[in-house]
Structure 1
Amino acid sequence: MNDHWALSNAPWLDSGPTSRVLTLLSGGGEEARVVGGAVRNALLNLPIGDIDIATTALPEEVVRRAKEAGIKSVPTGIEHGTVTLVVEGKPFEVTTLREDTETFGRKAKVSFGRDWVGDAHRRDFTINALSVGADGVVHDYVGGLSDIAARRVRFIGVPKERIEEDFLRILRFFRIHAAFGAGEVDRDGYLACIAARSGLATLSAERVRMEMLKLLVADGAAAACVAMADSGLQQTIVGGVVYTGTLAAMIAAERALDLEPDAMRRLAALAVAVTEDARRIAARLRLSNSEARALDSMGHRWWRLEGMDEARARRRLYRLGEGPYRDRLMLAWARAGTGADAAHWIELARLPQRWTAPKFPLRAADFIARGVAEGPQLGHVLTLAEDAWLAADFPLEPGLLASLADQAVTRLTRDPKP
């Protein structure tokens, strides 16, 4: 099967760096096409990110032509047929058509070929196997065009076989559906993913992390996570209980606040009830240090933010800082349930936009002047004074500050700490 469809209104294809690469690698008996996600997104009228090129030209020929044209080439995966060309500052991953000679997961042995049909059948999903040449004609050998029209994510060929080639395709199935699909997930693919779920244990944490974080920020993340939870896949990934209702509430909260989707917020909503959950997930997914800190912060006594008035919220904002305050508050909001007062939560979440926490005005010198010696006692009295300053709602009047300092020194003498 080779269905054709003309891709119209594609200036990125007709001119500019993409056109230059296609022209460079076509002719002289060779052909080049844009493949994969760029074609899919163009047909769905979605933003186009990276543009990948497939070609019949061997890697050495790609490098030779690039050199003659004065284009930088980087052998990013030349043993697998991939060369990156940099044109006008934009990178293009160019890969020679391939065919598997032996298949065992990501370490499949490949040989270079010239068969566009065979190359399409090597790919994962029908909507990712489309290609388009400089003439705008979309080539479809696997039924991807009809699946694009139906917003259906379907494995190429037998789902079980595609999954066994790389078990990461289980997660990619749900992630691609969340981003580009509509309605229920494809049943044959879904059942194959369930049957093969033990294969997830063979994947590196880094690869799982990458797919999960992409899935969580997709438009259809809530429904995809429900499907994964119903099959037991989600619990396998995070190693504990999942809360799909809280995830849906977090997504609604982000939209109410006009915030961009945030993977850590959504991961916390899905799987973090206490800090122990955050630490387990950080280890299982090999989160970065900043990601792990964000997850841990959200899980730390988020329930104490329920029922806050604005005075208490200001103290929390002062202690946590704007980002952690907002994210922990949003987790508390998402977990508050359907009876939550959305207007009140929104008001608290937008507190940093109308109020900036002042700096604590008392300094070590204020207490040294009152006879407190440098050392641990000085740190303790500063803590006592800061706590009292917060409780008094951030006063800045000199007389009141002096009184707070005196009271802190008095408390220190009553309750000295090393």
Structure 2
Amino acid sequence: MTSPSSVRCYQLNPSEYTCLFSPQLLYLFSLFHEYDHSIRLVGGAVRDILLGVTPHDIDLATTATTSDMMKIIQGDSNIELVYTRAEHFGTLTMIVGTTIRRTFQVTTLKQCIIRHGRDVQVQFTDNWSVDAQQRDLTINSLSMDEHGMIYDYTNGIDDLKLNRICFNGNILARLQENPIRILRYFRFFGQLSADPYAHDETVLDAIRRSAILLQDVPGEKIWLELKMILTNRFAGHLIRTILQQQLAPFMGLPESSEGMFELENRWLRCMNYQPQPITLLMTLFEDQGEFDTFCQRIKCSSHDKNLGQFLLHYRYVIQPSNNPDMLYSYKDFLINSHLTQQDTLHEFVIELLKYQGHILVINELKQWSIPKFTINAWDLRENGLTSSHRFPNLLRKLREKWKASKYKMTKSELIEYGFLSGVFYM
């Protein structure tokens, strides 16, 4: 690592970065410079530029304090300040522009972060090198000005070229400052490492020693990181490694690691079919109680919770059929489901096939349209039937006949069958 006082600079070609500098961003830069404050792109945006990836978000850092920033934008009609709880951490969210508006987060450079449980104190600085040194990973410590000059205080560019995921300075100190960095390490490892097993044992040891710190991290943040890990390369390997570091109980996951090898195998079988994160993770849960504990901890969305419950309930119930149509039982389940739920359940059944490892029939079910049983009680009345108490039984028999025809019989054919077969007179 370079010394705190040294910096390596790397000049980008204009074609590599100018597209990022919208008029709104350039306006913000010029405003800060007018008040003699330095401002740069930082973190993921700079890393993505070097990787040839267009950044999704642009985060900014500055030598200005939040008080300075308030004075800079006060009365400026081109900037709207969005008040959040982030001001305590030196971050202001600004919406820049009038007709076309863009949102940016601007953060004061940090000297250190002091954490006591969920209480966090931040000390600020105007020194770019000090700020870079206290960021979590070297690849996230890069900054860039509006002229495309990248500043590297921690050898982040070299680590990026070599696909190395290295912490800045003392690993335990970095994890103490912000425990979510434990999972961020695995996320970036999955994105960038060339070898799923190339973990530095020093890093894993620090993670094991810091595991208990995760208990103070909000569940939403844990789930956000887990989802990105589960959709990355090496997802199966990474989850196994995470569980081997005894992190499970602090994330609401079962402490038993029996399922971690099966999760890795399941991921290997279906990784090319983009299984949803919860689909893979359900391997670890043996019963509803374990899954409920996880949902309460990470506060997952209703969609994720419903999908998880579906997989938990049906993973051994719906199985391939022995008849020529291997998907018969899956199709039958969907056809028998309520019309308002069929689209969601169709998605869930596809995830069930991924979970079960029946990869070769997934595309067939994706392309299959659920046939609609078009007869209802009104149709029976229209054809002269009046004993409404018998309608549910009649509709059930017509439905069985429709299914036996492989869902091909039309409404008129089914009505005709009802009269000719005597079903309507039984």
Length-normalised TM-score, structure 1: 0.82
Residue 35 to residue 318, structure 1, CA distance change in 2 (3 Å) = same
Q: In structure 2, what is the equivalent of residue 22 of structure 1? A: 29
Q: In structure 2, what is the equivalent of residue 363 of structure 1? A: 376
1:221 Cα shift?
2.0
Equivalent pair of 1:105/1:165 in contact (CA under 8 Å): no
1:111 Cα shift?
3.5
Q: How many percent identity over aligned positions?
A: 23
Structure 1: distance between partners of 2:241 and 2:281: 16
Q: In structure 1, what is the equivalent of residue 276 of structure 2? A: 262
1:41 Cα shift?
1.1
Which of these residues, 39, 46, 56, is aligned with residue 46 of structure 2?
A: 39
**CA deviation string 1:212-265 (max 9, x = no partner):** 11211223323322322333435763215434554554465352x5xx563233
Matches within 5 A, 1:4-403: 4-8=9-13, 9-66=16-73, 67-68=75-76, 70-76=78-84, 77-87=86-96, 88-100=100-112, 102-104=114-116, 107-183=119-195, 184-234=198-248, 237=251, 238-239=253-254, 240=256, 241-247=258-264, 249-250=266-267, 253=270, 255=272, 262-268=276-282, 270-272=283-285, 278-303=291-316, 304-307=318-321, 309-319=326-336, 321-336=342-357, 342-343=359-360, 345-346=361-362, 349-353=363-367, 355-366=368-379, 370-374=385-389, 379=392, 382-383=395-396, 385-397=398-410, 398-403=412-417
What is the DSSP-based 3-state SS (H/G/I as helix, E as strand, rest coil) of the residue aligned with 2:204?
Answer: helix
Structure 1: distance between partners of 2:202 and 2:132: 20
Q: How many residue pairs end up in the alignment?
A: 397
1:388 Cα shift?
4.9
What is the DSSP-based 3-state SS (H/G/I as helix, E as strand, rest coil) of the residue aligned with 1:10?
Answer: helix
Equivalent pair of 1:251/1:261 in contact (CA under 8 Å): no
**CA deviation string 1:13-59 (max 9, x = no partner):** 45543333222222432100111111111111223011111111222
Q: In structure 2, what is the equivalent of residue 3 of structure 1? A: 8
1:174 Cα shift?
0.9
Q: In structure 2, what is the equivalent of residue 416 of structure 1? A: none
Residue 317 to residue 223, structure 1, CA distance change in 2 (3 Å) = same
1:146 Cα shift?
1.8
Equivalent pair of 1:167/1:200 in contact (CA under 8 Å): yes
Equivalent pair of 2:320/2:330 in contact (CA under 8 Å): no
Between stretches 14-23 and 270-279, larger displacement belongs to 270-279
What stretches of structure 2 of length at least 5 have no aligned partner?
Answer: none
Residue 81 to residue 333, structure 1, CA distance change in 2 (3 Å) = closer
Instruction: Tell me the amino acid that sits aligned with residue 361 of structure 1.
Output: T
Equivalent pair of 1:130/1:141 in contact (CA under 8 Å): yes
1:11 Cα shift?
1.8
**CA deviation string 1:307-335 (max 9, x = no partner):** 55254443244346355335434444453
Structure 1: distance between partners of 2:124 and 2:284: 44
Structure 1: distance between partners of 2:128 and 2:120: 19
Residue 13 to residue 305, structure 1, CA distance change in 2 (3 Å) = same
Residue 47 to residue 267, structure 1, CA distance change in 2 (3 Å) = farther
Length-normalised TM-score, structure 2: 0.80
Equivalent pair of 2:94/2:103 in contact (CA under 8 Å): yes
1:193 Cα shift?
0.9
